[in-house]
Amino acid sequence: MHRRMPLAGPLLLVPVLLLTACSPGPGDGRAAAGSAPAGGASLDNCGHEVPVGAPPERVVSLNQGTTEILYSLGLQDRVVGTATWTDPIMEGLEEADEGVPRLAENNPSFERVLEAEPDFVTASFESTLGTGGVATREQFEELGVGTYVSPSDCAAGKDNDSGGDGSRSEPLTLDVVYGEIGDLARVFGVPERGEELVAGLEGRVEAATADLDASGVSLMYWFANSESPYLAGCCGAPGAITRAVGAENAFDDTHDEWPQINWETVADRDPDVIVLGDLTRESQTAETAAAKIDFLEGHPATRNLTAVREERYILLSGQAMNPSIRTVEGVEQVAAGLRELGLAQ
């Protein structure tokens, strides 16, 4: 959700990862998002060739999503700057983040990034490394700085030119996130760490959803903004969470990533549960979960919703609602929340 942010499993991995990040074919999305010709010296990332040779030594991560993957791979000693934060650092990564310069809470300037003397730059969104963002990938690459964009923002039929936060013609899967982990692990020369991390994430999803039955339960995901709320469409990270827990998305009939939908339409859908983004940034109205609940319980169009009357709320970080390593956390929290509410077994 880059326009709303300040700015802006069985083990797949094998010793030689095949990486074709933005040309997903039929079948397993992870194989498409994280593979390249065996023995190849580069990987195809959103239409750009990323060399796989000498591992980068000085990386700037321009979005929290890629930052947390790098830290989870134990690469914090190579991170010379971070930017664009919506949430506190993921639990367990606090020590990794200590001492790493935060270049900006939102988008840093191109010049500020260059001051960190990076040899590699990562981002979660094409809009971050594109026109109107920090700089284009070509601007960095002309200076000899490698770039990488999360394949979740170009794979799974993602169209970033359709307006707003883009749209998807195909549902995003967690395999694409796992493919990103494999990509970065290979680029930085730590493929075994990538394998271990993916295996752990897959195990967490399996444990969270074991024997879970939430069929017939409708969920609505609200990221931010009370006047014209950003609610999750069918096929982004919230869609992946919803499918993992076996529930239904109240707005699965729109392929827009985060459409702005009026409250009268929400009242017509009357979701069983409302999943609330609990953000710490101060970019839009109703950022925190507490502010969202206050609004829902006081607005005439929403105070009589079933979920509001029954206080059926589940809180997620903003990063869990983005395609990121935190989406696994989202699966765990939604699954636990449905069980606590007595809506799933």
Residue 214 has pLDDT above 60, yes or no: yes
The percentage of the chain sitting over the pLDDT mark of 70, rounded to a whole number, equals: 88
pLDDT at 282: 85
Fill in the DSSP letter of residue 275.
E
Residue 17 has pLDDT above 80, yes or no: no
What are the pLDDT digits (tens) for 246-283?
999 999 999 999 999 999 999 999 999 999 999 988 88
Residue 18 has pLDDT above 80, yes or no: no
pLDDT at 283: 85
Cα separation, 105 vs 44, whole angstroms = 29
Q: What is the pTM of this model?
A: 0.87
Cα separation, 273 vs 164, whole angstroms = 25
Domains, in order of start, for the chain: 29-207 (3.40.50.1980), 211-340 (3.40.50.1980)
| Beta strands 273-277 and 313-316, pairing class | parallel
> What is the H or E stretch that residue 274 is in?
strand 273-277
What are the pLDDT digits (tens) for 72-87?
999 999 999 999 998 9
What are the pLDDT digits (tens) for 169-188?
999 999 999 999 999 999 99
pLDDT at 1: 60
pLDDT at 21: 35
Taking CA atoms, 134 is separated from 62, 63, 109, 141, in Å, by 8, 11, 6, 13
Name the nearest CA neighbour of 283 among 134, 129, 96, 85. 85
